[in-house]
Chains A and B, each alone.
Chain A
Amino acid sequence: MLAEGVFDGLRRVGAGAINAVSRLGFAARFFAVVLIHSPAALKRTRLTLREIYFAGVLSLVIIMVSGLFVGMVLGLQGYDTLNKYGAGDSLGIFVGLSLVRELGPVVAGLLFASRAGSAITAEIGLMKTTEQLAAMEMMAVDPLARIVAPRFWGGVISMPLLAALFSMMGVFGAYLVGVRLIGVDSGAFWGNMRAAIGFWPDVTNGIIKSVVFGVAVSLIAVFEGYDAKPTAEGVSSATTRTVVEASLAILALDFILTVFMFRGLGG
């Protein structure tokens, strides 16, 4: 009885592992096919612009409001801590580096996954459930080129722009709290920030991160939608998986990228 239970457990672990590897392989092939279809899809700029509108423009409110509040909190918390060490004037550096290097790409990525990633998955999943993708195939139009590739590139292009706007609003929020409310010197706030933050590596690395997150979130979103079971429950599960997998991917990739980008700074 016990042995049977152990074997059953092992069998389930094995089946889960095989399924995970199989899905990963399918996702890799899917990514390759999307890239192959991308030049043709990008030529039809209207399709990609439409997706930039849905993924990017419609995410503006949540990204900008979140950026503003995150910046305001950073201003408050940062000043409180820095001031204990007599470094209140360094608030601009603290806020700028935190946002450009980390919080901008990461928090904007997480919000993007929740707002746009889930919407992309649900849309493609529902198109599959209602046989719209099959209808397209039967009309000799490849859904990977017509539906998936424009949504993928719409997400990839939107993400760095949203991360930049998030950081900008964050700096503005910190300025409102630090300079306008608390009374940090405006010249010190902006001057220190400009002196300490370089386009290379800080801004550039932040942009690289946001592009990588954009690729990861968009790929997960279109893949989960395309691979969703064509039922209400299947679309719901796929949407949840997109948010969970994309969030974990952002955090894991952030650590890996940070190790490579800033490993030389400590020594």
Chain B
Amino acid sequence: MTAAARPSAAALACPTENAVELAGVTYGYDRGPLVLRGIDMAIPRGKVVAIMGGSGCGKTTILRLIGGQLQPQAGRVLVAGQSVPDLDREELFAMRRRIGMLFQFGALFTDLTVFENIAFALREHTNLPDELVRDLVLMKLNAVGLRGTAQLRPAELSGGMARRVALARAIALDPMLVLYDEPFAGLDPISLGVVGQLIRELNDALGITSVVVTHDVYESLKIVDYLYFVSEGRIIAQGTPEEVQASSDPFVRQFVDGAPDGPVPFHYPAPVYADELAAHAR
């Protein structure tokens, strides 16, 4: 087998065709209303898939179910063929070693330098000598263009830089799957483009699978292979970027065009306006 035809470590770590599968997943927090109602989703290995929807629609909950931070009330969550809710703590941690996660604001450890943040997982899970850890960390930092920040503290980084360092940390253990929670939130246009490009390039170069939870339509359409739209706990539309752009579905159109009113109403449900204004006169 030639080097070019050799499967990546990430592909070997995920033997199934779909890196992630959700079937009939239902979830609600405590005794509150259901956040997810029968979600079906398949995320093929090696692809970048976006989960989109308005704030509070359940996007991040899906990520937490995939990562095993939450347990579904009904349905199946499979990662690399393993049923996540059925894993015990040790098996769950073994699975998480093959998953990287980028949190919304980076979640870098503020008492450690950038270097130590990226070395953290390597030091916790391997017995690699310090020289090798150093080289690996510098390689990850170089991949996100921030080798020069190794000795800085997270507080000294801009929002975009912190997100890139968090991305380097997420791929520190060469995962087979990376979960991104709102990677574009609060970034300037340049950082936004850089982070988007990095997600695509790292996915292809490392042969990993990426799940991007976001509400940034414009940036997502440029980098993803497939999109799911979630509203009120259900998948209401899905397709490739081309299909989404050509879609006439009212929700997709409102989301893509950024229209203030539509299937997602501008006004929160309330009594009739005129009745409320006149209430004091009665």
Could you list which residues of chain A lie within 8 angstroms of chain B, going by C-beta atoms?
A: 127, 130-132, 134-142, 146
Contact = CB atoms under 8 A, between A and B. Distances in A.
A135 B96 contact: no
Nearest to A131: B107
A131 B97 contact: no
A132 B107 contact: yes
A140 B92 CA distance: 8
A249 B94 CA distance: 40
Contact of B107 (A130, A141, A142, A146): A130
A34 to B, nearest CB: 16
Given A137-B69, A138-B101, A139-B124, A132 B94 contact: no
Q: Which 7 A-B pairs have the closest CB atoms?
A: A135-B107, A131-B107, A140-B93, A140-B96, A138-B101, A140-B97, A131-B103
B169 to A, nearest CB: 8
B99 A138 contact: yes
A141 B124 contact: yes
Interface in B121-175: 121, 124-125
Nearest to B117: A135
Contacts of B124: 139-141, 146
16 contacts: A130-B105, A131-B105, A132-B109, A132-B110, A134-B69, A137-B96, A138-B69, A139-B97, A139-B101, A139-B120, A139-B124, A140-B96, A140-B121, A140-B125, A141-B124, A146-B124
Contacts, number: 45
A132 B101 CA distance: 12
B67 interface: yes
Contacts of A132: 107-110
Given A140-B94, A141-B121, A141-B124, A135 B110 contact: no
B103 A135 contact: yes
B82 interface: no
Given A130-B110, A134-B107, A138-B96, 9 more contacts: A131-B107, A135-B103, A135-B109, A138-B67, A138-B99, A139-B101, A140-B96, A141-B120, A141-B121
Contacts of B69: 134, 137-138
Contacts of A135: 101, 103, 107, 109
Given A140-B93, A140-B96, A134 B120 contact: no
